[in-house]
Amino acid sequence: MAEIDARLREDVHQLGELLGDTIKVQHGAAFLDKIERIRKGAKASRRGSTEGAEQLSATLNQLADDELLPVARAFNQFLNLANIAEQYHRVRRRAPGEAQPFEDSILAELLQRLASHGHKGEALARQFGRLDIELVLTAHPTEVARRTLIQKYDAMAEQLAAGDHSDLSTAEREQVKQRLQRLIAEAWHTEEIRRSRPSPVDEAKWGFAVIEHSLWHAIPNVLRKADQVLHSATGLHLPLDAAPIRFASWMGGDRDGNPNVTASVTREVLLLARWMAADLYLRDIDQLAAELSMQQASPALLARVGESAEPYRSLLKQLRERLRATRSWAQAALHEDLPPPAAVLQNNRELFEPLQCCYQSLHDCGMGVIADGPLLDCLRRAATFGLFLGRLDVRQDASRHAAAMSEITDYLGLGRYTEWDEETRLAFLQKELDNRRPLLPGHFKPSGETEEVLATCREVARAPAASLGSYVISMAGAASDVLAVQLLLKEAGLQRPMRVVPLFETLADLDNAGPVIRQLLALHGYRARLHGPQEVMIGYSDSAKDAGTTAAAWAQYRAQETLVQVCSEQDVELLLFHGRGGTVGRGGGPAHAAILSQPPGSVAGRFRTTEQGEMIRFKFGLPDIAEQNLNLYLAAVLEATLLPPPSPEPAWRELMDKLASDGVKAYRAVVREHPQFVDYFRQATPEQELGRLPLGSRPAKRREGGVESLRAIPWIFAWTQTRLMLPAWLGWEAALNNALQRGEGELLGQMRAGWPFFRTRIDMLEMVLTKADESIASLYDERLVEPSLQPLGVHLRGLLSQAVAAVLGLTGQSQLLAHSPETLESISVRNTYLDPLHLLQAELLARARQRDNQADSPLEQALLVSVAGIAAGLRNTG
């Protein structure tokens, strides 16, 4: 097995020692010895030692109630420290002659490859400048780390960087160590877990903090380096206003199943975004005004400021006053409904043009070296983030719109909309969309739920166009779902185009996506209201929960193919919006590989995807890490656009149809049809406890009921905590084994070698199976599941073994991830700290269920800490 890099091991060891020192100061040497016995027992147990397993179990069983929380905290904190060390290791300083990270060189290598395939420099530069990648930041019901701790973790990473210099003096090294010791002590003495659920506004502020502390710094660096690479390859530069990557958000706009997101919340979040954007630009402008003291200026700049000894400062001071006015108004408008004064910036050109004028003047006057410094960075930010940081999407379930329409048609004496067939609905909606008169009289008094739908539409209508992204319709299934929203927005006074986006989530809806969009595009008047690309959202979470990942992945692929074909026939641009999560069960996995595995033609210079809470922190929480991940997105979307993957062979399609059919049958036979499944799920996993924990602003369930009522995230999160990982692999074991028994192993090998879609699915399956652990899952069963249900657990673990055997048979390896020994070693090291947390969590769950524990008790706190620690150790949990 490969050794972890010595420098990473050294950092992990140092952080662990400092944590041990902190624990020893508070709890004494005897307690620290107990932690060490647990760690050594877990390590020996993992190596097959019966004695080690017994020591581990005995030490944990003998813990007193008041020791449960500090033991859980110790292992939780170590896993978080290991994450910090691993994250920093990815972006650490490289010695002379040492290979640079793959992410840093990927763009240059891609441009060379594209040139070798015959793409001319001018066309390459044009396509690069036109890239339209939008990362949509979403809140996460399983993100448990508090913002204050995240900030301390970031500060620790900064200290690791400060110590990563060979020429530091002894005193300087000691100073770095002392700072690390202090930060680790601060983290140890800070509660890891919030006591109450975050509000939607809290979640939005968390998203703004990621922009402020990381993305704000990363974007100019990414674009500066991309421009240098592009110029080296083509002799051309990125346009000043190019924004190949932008950001949007669902935090404060996603009301699907979340009664806490109201129209007033959406308004507040929009205003907070304007306040934060103005404040961030003011910091930039203050720096620029201090630096741009030059006197020589172009006639264009002098014409804007008149006679001035310091013309750049004069223009920047005008902009600064407008930014101050914008910030002051946004602050005041949070408390009362105030119209914006004339000085408030309303259009991004009002921000961009003064900066552009300064930039052009400096270049015209031979001071390009000054122009290409912080001023260029500010221009890049203005192009990327605009006046609103990112665009806010609105999302609501199709049934809420239908209920509102039904109340309206009932009031108008037309019958109940929900009882009409699709043809009747479309006829009514088209007629009213074409009608110039209002649909409703002013004295109409709707119910509370309908009023909330209408109030949301009014907020959409009054907000500046650039502050909003798309209106996403969850559980969309028909053309009328889109027209109903368009009519409600028209009724609210919206007089500009807005993308209304159907989200196809279940297996049946994915199969029906192409016909629905074909019908929409054929409707009279619809194309006139489109104004831009037809956006369609593909749901990964609910389709996988509905049918398993085998059938869901193939349905998602086929839906995209059909949508590409339909829009091509209709001569309409298509923008696919991917609702991916952090896990395999929710479409997760490495973004670069995922993008390159999409159907040919589906990534045509445009790509929109969700980035979910905890993965936002892992991928974008630190500026250097964010740069690497943004580089991957740029390279993958450019490659998928100009070098799309081949279409699958007919034989591959035929076999994939069989795999999907076998997969969905096997998945549903367990999840839907096994009479004991729901009871087993609730006993074997912390699903019920997760619903009580203060994890996010959104309820864990859409409604009362069984598995079908659960949201996709807690459904997957619960199985991940026990390491069975069931949603990510169930169905694949039957699909692959049936194919191998039919003698189709050679064809599976061809698919894996020649079809990026299939290869990526198998790679992600292999990763999740490596993290799955039968022995850990069985421990939960032994402690928590009544004897009559335990045979089902044995059966499921048997299916897991079959899945592992099938993947090994397909890949020809003797061990999962044998081709990636570094990853295997990383997982192995983490298991030493994860195993005690799993054992402790099973014990905590048993005790909590016996005592009907209160939410703020030490026992419940320890349980929450174990949840957070396992999440940190496995990285992609929800």
Contact 826, 82 (CB under 8 A): no
Contact 201, 252 (CB under 8 A): yes
Residue 317 burial (10 A CB sphere; 0-12, 13-18, 19+): middle
* The two structure tokens encoding residue 544: 């996988």
What SS3 class is residue 136?
A: strand
Pick the catalytic residue: 43, 545, 771, 838? 545
The DSSP code sequence of 529-576 is HH-S-EEEEEESHHHHHHH-HHHHHHHHHHHHHHHHHHHHHTT--EEE
DSSP-derived letter for residue 372 is I
Distances (CA, A) of 741 to 410, 749, 752, 809: 58, 14, 18, 12
Pick the catalytic residue: 43, 140, 217, 838? 140
Q: CB within 8 A of 245, min separation 6: which ones?
A: 131, 133, 134, 135, 219, 222, 384, 630, 633, 634
Q: Name residue 283's amino acid.
A: R
Distances (CA, A) of 428 to 140, 356, 419, 425, 481: 38, 49, 13, 5, 13
Residue 858 burial (10 A CB sphere; 0-12, 13-18, 19+): middle
Q: CB within 8 A of 559, min separation 6: which ones?
A: 504, 510, 511, 513, 514, 538
User: Which residues on adjacent β-strands are paired with residue 578?
Assistant: 538, 609
Q: CB within 8 A of 779, min separation 6: which ones?
A: 838, 839, 842
Distances (CA, A) of 349 to 239, 242, 302, 319, 378: 15, 13, 19, 12, 14
Contact 26, 191 (CB under 8 A): no
DSSP-derived letter for residue 145 is B
CA–CA separation, 869 and 855 (whole Å): 18
Q: CB within 8 A of 677, min separation 6: which ones?
A: 670, 671, 707, 792
- Is residue 140 flagged as an active site residue? yes
Token pair 């009559």 in the structure block, residue: 788
Helix, strand, coil shares of the chain, percent, nearest 5, are 65, 5, 25
What SS3 class is residue 689?
A: helix
- Is residue 545 flagged as an active site residue? yes
Contact 555, 517 (CB under 8 A): no
* The two structure tokens encoding residue 530: 């489109």
What does residue 136 show for φ and ψ, rounded to 5 degrees? -100, 110
Distances (CA, A) of 313 to 264, 288, 308, 317, 493: 39, 8, 9, 6, 42
Q: Cα-atom radius of gyration of the chain, to the nearest Å?
A: 28
What SS3 class is residue 687?
A: helix
3-state secondary structure 848-867: HHHHCCCCCCHHHHHHHHHH
* The two structure tokens encoding residue 818: 């044998």
User: Which residues on adjacent β-strands are paired with residue 817?
Assistant: none
DSSP H or E stretch at residue 802: helix 790-811
What is the crossing angle of helices 732-741 and 549-569, to 10°?
Answer: 90
CA–CA separation, 809 and 34 (whole Å): 42
CA–CA separation, 145 and 198 (whole Å): 11
Residues tagged active-site: 140, 545
